[in-house]
Amino acid sequence: MSLRMRILALIGLFLLLMAAAGGAVMVANARDAVRAEMDSALELGGALGLAAAERGEVPGGIAMLNGLGLRHLRFMGADGLPEPEPVKRRAPDWFAALIGGEPQERRLAGGGLRIVAEPWDEIAEVWEDMSDLAAAMLAVGLLLMGAAHLAVGRALAPLSRLEAGVERLRAGQYAFAFDGHGVPELVRLGTGIAALADGLAAAEAENRRTGQRIVAAQDAERREIAREIHDELGAALFAIKVDAGRILRLRDGEATGEAAREASERAAQILDTAAEVHRLSRRILVRLRPALLDQLPLSEALAELAGDWMRRQPGMALTLSIDPPAATAELDGCDEVLRLTVYRLVQESLVNALRHAKPSAVTVRLRIDPEAVEIAVTDDGPGLRGGSEPGQGGFGISGMAERVRTLGGILSIGAAPGGGTRVSARLPRPILSPTSPSRSDRVKSESI
């Protein structure tokens, strides 16, 4: 049943209850009125009967008394003469029974005269009054129901627009306009849906921009890897090919001392080039997937990453700390996605600091609590120029912001208290089921 029909049914039920209550009150009053009328009629009939008896007109005066045309009264004698035909009832029997009116009789002293009070005329009047009132109430009720139908329809008209707007939201159309007129509750609901539509539109636009940034970052990463493979790996492989061909030609020629020495030099160059190819392939693989995370716990992988940067930048002081130190096992036992995100955040923060800030000291702090992992990378470089926001700037910052947002975390990039730049993130720790193995358990099982 629709809301309009429910409201109309409630109004109709209320009107019926009012009519029933009014009818009950009228019936109760009618009972008292008929009883009082019958008592009054009997008193009047008794007085007339006594007056006729005193003048000696009974029983001959019975016809005269009946001829007076008194309402509700009939006079009869005690000699069993035929009674006059009673007044025809104009009210239904069930209504007369409901009123409870029955003829009442009184005998005068001596028994020569019987006085009968009949309530039919009075009940008929009550029936006519109640019928007229019921017809009037029915007409008024129909008018009220019609007016309520129109009023409720106008009041609930915004619901159809809200429903159509919600259907458009479900279809991905976020343009939602609400005129702001009508029932205050519906106005508030429409305003809330309009705000939700604006939020969904903004989120959709942000998702689209994020997707474009991710695609652009992936394309840029692929171009960079393709350039390294073409420029460095391709050149190294071509050098190996040239050196190997020269060695073959020297083998087929005269084995002089000069040829043997050149072959030895070419072989050494091949070894150097092969070592360079190996380093290049490792660098590319690390960019694609840090192999350290598959071989070491996260704390040791971060220590290895810090040590590698310190070997590259011997003049820079890099400090790695985990707070509290006893929580290292918890850090190592995080799930795979969280471990990779923490590693990538530290890695990208170090790359940005060493590439843009040229700091003399970098501090990496990790804080672990039961609910989250907090990462803070601080350098003493010149700081940010004009500020920076997560999701803006280079592809590395965009990638970090998107990765942290995907995990439900918070990333902030700003100035450090003592100067320089501070990159901080808070990543919630997912609740592992009791049966899911931790990373340290998996590493132990793999080593066994």
Instruction: Assess if residue 289 is contained within a domain.
Output: no
Question: Which segment, 72-76, 224-228, 412-416, is predicted with the most confidence on average?
Answer: 412-416
Bridge pairing between strands 410-415 and 361-368: unpaired
Contact 412, 425 (CB under 8 A): yes
* Residue 248 vs residue 84, higher pLDDT: 248
C-alpha closest to that of 183 among 210, 151, 208, 205: 151
C-alpha closest to that of 303 among 280, 328, 284, 336: 328
pLDDT-wise least confident of 10-24, 166-180, 356-370: 166-180
Answer whether residue 4 shows pLDDT above 70. yes
What residues are paired with 378 via a beta bridge?
363, 422
> What's the CA gap between 166 and 164, in Å, rounded?
5
Q: What is the CATH number of the domain that holds 374?
A: 3.30.565.10
User: Residue 366 has what pLDDT?
Assistant: 93
Answer whether residue 390 shows pLDDT above 60. no
User: Residue 423 has what pLDDT?
Assistant: 92
Answer whether residue 82 shows pLDDT above 50. no
Instruction: Assess if residue 51 is contained within a domain.
Output: yes
CA atoms within 13 A on the CB side of 53: 17
Instruction: Assess if residue 136 is contained within a domain.
Output: yes
User: Exposure of 98 by Cβ count < 10 A (0-12 exposed, 13-18 middle, 19+ buried)?
Assistant: middle
179-189: pLDDT as tens digits: 666 667 777 77
Query: Alpha carbon of 215 to those of 201, 222, 389, 408: distances in Å?
Result: 21, 10, 20, 21
* Residues 303 and 391 reside in one and the same domain: yes
Instruction: Assess if residue 234 is contained within a domain.
Output: yes
* Residue 446 vs residue 428, higher pLDDT: 428
* Residues 8 and 59 reside in one and the same domain: yes
Answer whether residue 422 shows pLDDT above 70. yes
Instruction: Assess if residue 416 is contained within a domain.
Output: yes
User: Residue 329 has what pLDDT?
Assistant: 86
154-169: pLDDT as tens digits: 777 777 777 787 888 8
* Residue 225 vs residue 431, higher pLDDT: 225
Confidence grade of residue 396 (pLDDT, cut at 50, 70, 90):
low
* Residues 71 and 210 reside in one and the same domain: no
* Residues 439 and 304 reside in one and the same domain: yes
- What percent of the chain clears pLDDT 90, i.e. is strictly above it? 5
* Residue 296 vs residue 105, higher pLDDT: 296
> What's the CA gap between 222 and 194, in Å, rounded?
42
Instruction: Assess if residue 382 is contained within a domain.
Output: yes
Contact 114, 105 (CB under 8 A): yes
Alpha-carbon 286 to chain mean position? 43
> What's the CA gap between 126 and 60, in Å, rounded?
35
- What percent of the chain clears pLDDT 70, i.e. is strictly above it? 73
Domain membership of residue 226 as a residue range: 184-271
User: Exposure of 156 by Cβ count < 10 A (0-12 exposed, 13-18 middle, 19+ buried)?
Assistant: middle
* Residues 430 and 329 reside in one and the same domain: yes
* Residues 381 and 238 reside in one and the same domain: no
> What's the CA gap between 334 and 338, in Å, rounded?
6
Answer whether residue 93 shows pLDDT above 80. no
Residue type, 358: K
Q: Average of pLDDT values for 221-229?
A: 72
Answer whether residue 348 shows pLDDT above 80. yes
* Residues 247 and 311 reside in one and the same domain: no
Contact 401, 206 (CB under 8 A): no
Instruction: Assess if residue 159 is contained within a domain.
Output: no
* Residues 68 and 35 reside in one and the same domain: yes
Answer whether residue 219 shows pLDDT above 70. no
Instruction: Assess if residue 286 is contained within a domain.
Output: no
What residues are paired with 367 via a beta bridge?
323, 374
Contact 76, 83 (CB under 8 A): yes
Residue type, 267: A
* Residues 86 and 147 reside in one and the same domain: yes
Average per-residue pLDDT for the chain: 75
* Residue 324 vs residue 207, higher pLDDT: 324
Pull the structure tokens for residue 176.
């939602």
- Of 151, 169, 192, the position where a domain reaches its end is 151
Contact 228, 280 (CB under 8 A): yes
Contact 7, 150 (CB under 8 A): no
Query: Alpha carbon of 98 to those of 23, 121, 433: distances in Å?
Result: 11, 15, 74
Answer whether residue 442 shows pLDDT above 50. no
* Residue 147 vs residue 250, higher pLDDT: 147
Answer whether residue 436 shows pLDDT above 80. no
Bridge pairing between strands 361-368 and 73-77: unpaired
Residue type, 304: E
> What's the CA gap between 394 and 376, in Å, rounded?
19
User: Residue 171 has what pLDDT?
Assistant: 78
Q: Average of pLDDT values for 373-393?
A: 70
How many domains does the chain divide into?
A: 3
pLDDT-wise least confident of 37-51, 90-104, 217-231: 217-231
Query: Alpha carbon of 83 to those of 19, 69, 115, 294: distances in Å?
Result: 41, 15, 12, 120
